[in-house]
Amino acid sequence: MAKNSNFYPVILAGGRGTRFWPLSRRKRAKQLLALDGKQTMIQQTVARLLPLAPAKRLWIITNEDLRPAILKQLPKLPRAQVLAEPVGRNTAPAIGLAAFLLLRENPEAVIGLFPSDHVIADEEQYRETLERGIEIAAAGANIVVLGIRPSRAETGYGYIEAGSAFREALRVRRFTEKPDAEKAAEFVAAGNYFWNSGMFLWSARTLAEALREHLPKTAPLLEEIAGAFGTRKFAATFRRLYPKCENISVDYAVLEPRSAKGEQAGNIFCLPADFGWNDLGSWAALHEHHNAKSNPPEGNLVAGSGVFLLNARGNYVYAPGKFVAAVGVSDLVVVETPDALLITTRQHAQDVGKVVKYLDEKKMDKLT
């Protein structure tokens, strides 16, 4: 299959990933950490997209805290294409800005939106899936969302309800918010529900039109910012106008109202994805991911200068440079950095974000 030369990956890398505190910080967010292998999450994200699009077609949208580290980790990317939002405005303005920028560069541009902090086990399969999605997105005013077949009744993700088949994809009937446990179980049992991966494909034209329709006040601001790109005025224009954009997710602003038009009229397609996706949403998810890969004795994963385990099971310990002794403990998560020590359980790993919330409230900025 010939590569589509109109394909432009746009990587969203403005998140904080607070659930990986104390390792993740404002200036070293989750996507900048090497949680799985030697490369960082964002380096892996870029590396698996480069076979589909060269660096000159690759864009990253992040924030000012993270931009310097991203440029350092990805020195071969065109610096101007690593954009730092002056303020966070959720995904709709970020994605909209990309649409208007790329529409100017190439009216036939097909945009792929990618989170920067997910793991993909089968990269070949991933790229093949994307190529099928790019074809659908390039064929008209279509929106393609990659849907992950649910392997458990997860309550931490949004779900996509799929309807009738269309080529290799399924028409989207509805996007749902994060369900409760009962509903999640129903969704999984039903068979036509998929996890929303946050990976989308659509033409720049379709996206620009959707924004003009659904965010009529924000769209002209984004167009004006895009118009200044490449000029001396760009930074100032970006800083002046971006804060005026609506603070809203693309799901809420575009996908939900559009899917409400009906399965046929919405033209949103779910492309089922089977490439071993994992969003590594917490220390517990990371533990599970590594455990499945390396199957260590008694399920203990320990990063340290040495280790002694006695009656210890299912623990995740990160304490580089230290000798770690774990005696009579199970299912703990312990993470140590030069200034902080996190002690929790795999079960409570979802609550680690609350530590950061507390530190934010107390303005203990050195620790965030």
Interface positions with its own copies (CB under 8 A):
21-22, 304-306, 308, 310-311, 315, 317, 319, 321-329, 332, 334, 336, 339-345, 347-348, 351-352, 354-355, 358-359, 364, 367
CB closer to its own copies, 240 vs 313? 313
To the nearest whole angstrom, how small is the minimum distance from the Cβ of residue 309 to its own copies? Answer: 10
Ramachandran angles phi, psi of 82, nearest 5°: -105, 95
Pair of tokens at residue 42: 């964002």
CB closer to its own copies, 280 vs 342? 342
CB closer to its own copies, 216 vs 328? 328
> Based on the number of CB atoms within 10 Å of its own CB, is 218 exposed (0-12), middle (13-18) or buried (19 or more)?
buried
To the nearest whole angstrom, how small is the minimum distance from the Cβ of residue 52 to its own copies? Answer: 40
User: Residue 170 half-sphere exposure, CB side, CA atoms within 13 Å?
Assistant: 20
CB closer to its own copies, 247 vs 347? 347
To the nearest whole angstrom, how small is the minimum distance from the Cβ of residue 316 to its own copies? Answer: 11
DSSP string, 81-141: GEEEESS---HHHHHHHHHHHHHHH-TT-EEEEEESS-EES-HHHHHHHHHHHHHHHHTSS
Pair of tokens at residue 150: 């649910």
CB–CB of 334/342 below 8 Å? yes
To the nearest whole angstrom, how small is the minimum distance from the Cβ of residue 313 to its own copies? Answer: 12
To the nearest whole angstrom, how small is the minimum distance from the Cβ of residue 35 to its own copies? Answer: 19
CB closer to its own copies, 228 vs 367? 367
CB–CB of 24/18 below 8 Å? yes
